[in-house]
Chain A
Amino acid sequence: ESVLTQSPGTLSLSPGDTATLSCRASQSVNTNYFAWYQQKPGQAPRLLIYGVSSRATGIPDRFSGSGSGTDFTLTIRRLEPEDFAVYYCQRYSGSVWTFGQGTKVEN
């Protein structure tokens, strides 16, 4: 079973900083099937990035995704107050969807 490991667990930053979040897959990922989500307390996850690097509708360009194979990165430039949240990576492979355990970006 494929596992996604996110690091760090918590990232302590200030508004205006750049956040770099990592997600490592135990098996190589088809780059069409990798996504990132943002979740705030009491809310459902929100799709940020799909297909590794494409921003979902309405997502500002300070969010960017990159990577291939087993290593993927979500970068958030110029952190805004509303960006402090938990971020999850997700992959699809072999009819199974898998999520990482999350990285909390805190102020």
Chain B
Amino acid sequence: QVHLVQSGAEMRKPGASVKLSCKASGYTFLGYNMHWVRQAPGQGPEWMGWINLNSGGTKYAQKFEGRVTMTTDTSINTVYMELKSLKSDDTAVYFCAREGSGDYDSSFDYWGQGTLVAVSS
């Protein structure tokens, strides 16, 4: 059974950084790309970027270029997302989401439970 388990809630001050983790189990980790999606309170999901777990290659949404870094530790089936220079409007729930393969390509078939990041002075 596929599981994506994310790290716990974080509180940061403006200007700080946060690094979140997402541990995968129940499937061949290297066989799928992993994405990060965030959702501000009362808003729709917002795609942040993805990482190719085989190559480590990344693609970030233009909005986050220069502030976000996605990495992976394949020895423990874990993906990380670091966001720097935090602002109050970065307050959101952050999800990791697995991109499906084959016919499911480009859709997100499994999601983590989400991590709340609160940014406040």
Query: A residues touching B (Cβ–Cβ < 8 Å)?
Result: 32-33, 35, 37, 44-47, 50-51, 54, 56, 88, 90, 92, 95-102
Contacts and interface: CB of A to CB of B under 8 A. Distances in A.
A44 B107 contact: no
Contacts, number: 61
Interface string B38-73: 000001111100100000000101000000000000
13 contacts: A32-B105, A32-B106, A33-B105, A44-B114, A45-B95, A47-B104, A47-B108, A47-B109, A50-B104, A51-B107, A98-B47, A99-B46, A99-B47
B45 A88 contact: yes
Contact of A101 (B44, B105, B109, B112): B44
Interface SS of chain A: strand
Interface in B68-88: none
A44 B111 contact: yes
A47 B107 contact: yes
Contacts of B97: 44
A102 B37 CA distance: 15
A47 B46 CA distance: 15
A92 B106 contact: yes
A35 B106 contact: yes
B107 to A, nearest CB: 4
Given A44-B95, A44-B114, A96-B61, A101 B106 contact: no
